[in-house]
Structure 1
């Protein structure tokens, strides 16, 4: 009796697993399959399949919704070929899939690894049949072979507040990454307290406290070599919460990054500018800018940024259709004027 009950339970489990596998492979929010089709695939009765489907809908296995698309639902679908029937909610929706896949593609990573990763993202979104990377995903010519391993180890160091040591690279004349050297010609070792990993301007940065300095630093992850992570937890010299801004308030990392259009040292300061022609260059780089219209397509704008960051930002729009004039502080105006004289002397 017990053996028969055990066999029945095993069969029921196999059917449930089979249903989940077929739903995962063949359905999404706009494409369902029928209980009849599932029964044919699994060699079970339609009644048995329907019973399992209703049980799965109540269970939400792995936190994923199992439900039915009705013929009435098809009117609101955006797909060119929606199909009624049972489906399982994908791990990612289509928008999340694209953002994750495109974000992965931005990293300067191994091409074969990226292709596999993006294929998995598509599969989790129920779009494996739509995987449409055009052309190859080449490995960057000057690829740091430690890059992927470093990301994993840095993530672990951040989570457990472990200090790190490493060599930091620069490019040689062949474009290869080589460690920076100290005055004795030996590879210089750096030490840091890692806090976060963020993309900025197409680069993947480690945000950290670089010893022995007091401010936050940006380091290109792809330039880190020979990474050593401390074996013990909570070995950072300074916890992130101990860092404060110029006003003595705790550092808001998102705000900190927004105030630096380019990673640059120094405190963020208020900057007043006049913009003629359009505000796209402003809000594309400074989401918290405050703008006031003072004329026809003329605006007075206040931003916060490091002085060096504003200088680099303003110079890139020198020959664009938008005219940017820094009004204050005077120190930025002086540096821009000095840059102009340097360019005149160089290209005269």
Structure 2
């Protein structure tokens, strides 16, 4: 008696999963795959495949569009081998993936760590090759293998209002990051109340209250080592709102950072400027400036900002003579004293 060798027909769910896996692995906005190719790969009829593809187009699985690329859609394609057919929209477009990948590199992790992270971004976004060129990664001189784990721990500490303990690094004579030491040569250990993580000026900062200070601190996250989060919730020595410039009101962290082109403590004050030529130096640093045009290339400007941070900002544009501080007088005096010091140092 002959034994039947007929293969079991795959279920609808199996077919749909296999179609989605093929689309995810082999397609993007310039490379499709035909229903015929899919039917051969998963061993079901082309009619069945077309029916499921049309259903997926209507469903948009996981919020991702499934569409058919026509030849006319590829006339402006940038790739050398565009191909019509069905494709699934990636989770991230190329620009979003580039930002995520660049953000990973900024973390200053070691190259193996970075490669693993970017590979996960790459896989999650789709395997169509949109991240060409990111396979070669340069290991930063001062990388931190703890960086991503520290971010997770800091997020947890902020959410549950837990005190943190850590070592903090500075640079040695060769430019390597090493833990800070006290006068006796012992490695320093710090405690702090963590409040907020923020990216600014190409650095990732933790805004916190270090227990030995009465003010806010702005620490570079890549310099943390041996981070430990206390287990007790709501155990901060001080709340962020206790630093509010108006007692009894919530502390606005975004406004606070906007008022500081360089993160530093101290009050923000009204500052009156005259800018000639271009407003790029202004709006590159101060989003909320109030500007009045007073002539073809002259502007009257008011900002709220920290005086010392504004001094540093103005000095970087000193050679262009674009910026004049009109008020407050205290900031004008700081600029004058700095100029006199530079004149004395470089007189000869």
The 1:318–1:335 alpha-carbon spacing in structure 2 relative to 1, beyond 3 Å, is same
SS in 1 for 2:157: helix
Match of 1:146 in 2: 146
1:65 corresponding residue in structure 2: 64
Aligned twin of 1:165: 165
Partner of 2:100: 100
Deviation at 1:96, TM superposition (A): 1.4
Give yes or no for the alignment of 1:273 onto 2:273: yes
- Aligned position for 1:199: 199
Distance of aligned partners of 1:248 and 1:233 in 2 relative to their CA distance in 1, 3 Å threshold: closer
Displacement after TM superposition at 1:66 (Å) = 4.3
Corresponding residue number in structure 1 for 2:315: 315
Alignment partner of 2:162: what SS? coil
- Counterpart secondary structure, 1:236: coil
Specify whether residues 305 and 136 from structure 1 end up closer, same or farther in structure 2 by C-alpha distance, changes over 3 A only. same
- Encode CA deviations 1:21-77: one digit per residue, 9 max, x unaligned: 11101223454322222101111111222333344445543x233432364982897
Out of 333-342 and 252-261, give the one that drifted further.
Answer: 252-261
CA distance in 1, matches of 2:72, 2:243: 53
Hey, what does 1:51 align to over in structure 2? Answer: 51
Q: After alignment, is 197-206 or 63-72 more displaced?
A: 63-72
Q: Contact 2:94–2:131 at 8 Å: present in 1 too?
A: no
Contact 2:26 2:128 in 1 (8 A): no
Higher mean displacement: 103-112 or 305-314: 103-112
Q: CA deviation at 1:135?
A: 8.3
- Equivalent-residue separation in structure 2 for 1:241 and 1:49 (angstroms): 59
Aligned to 2:4: none
**Partners in 1 of 2:85 and 2:261 — Cα distance?**
49
Relative distance call for 1:151 and 1:128 in structure 2 (3 A) is farther
Instruction: Determine the structure 2 residue equivalent to 1:3.
Output: none
Mean Cα deviation higher: 274-283 or 193-202:
193-202
- Provide the TM-score with structure 2 as the length reference: 0.86
Give the superposition deviation at 1:207: 1.6
CA offsets 1:318-345 (integer angstroms, 9 cap, x no match): 113x421111111111111111111122
Deviation at 1:176, TM superposition (A): 2.4
Aligned-partner Cα distance in 2 for 1:318–1:136 = 39
Residue 4 (structure 1) aligns with: none
Q: Deviations over 1:181-215 (max 9, x none)?
A: 33444322211122222221111111222225454
RMSD, aligned α-carbons: 2.8
Conserved 8 A contact 1:292-1:300? yes
- In the TM superposition, what are the counterparts of 1:1-348 in structure 2 within 5 Å? 11-61=11-61, 63-69=62-68, 71=70, 74=73, 83-126=83-126, 128-133=128-133, 136-241=136-241, 243-246=243-246, 249-320=249-320, 322-348=321-347
Q: The residue matched to 2:226 in structure 1 has which SS? A: strand
Aligned pair in 2 of structure 1 residues 40, 75: CA closer, same or farther (>3 Å)?
closer
SS of 2:87's equivalent in the other structure is: strand
2:129 alignment partner, SS class: helix
Q: Cα–Cα, structure 1 residues 135 and 346, in superposed 2: closer, same or farther, change >3 Å?
A: farther
Give the superposition deviation at 1:79: 5.1
Tell me how many residue pairs correspond in the alignment: 340
Cα distance change on mapping 1:159 and 1:54 into 2, 3 Å = farther
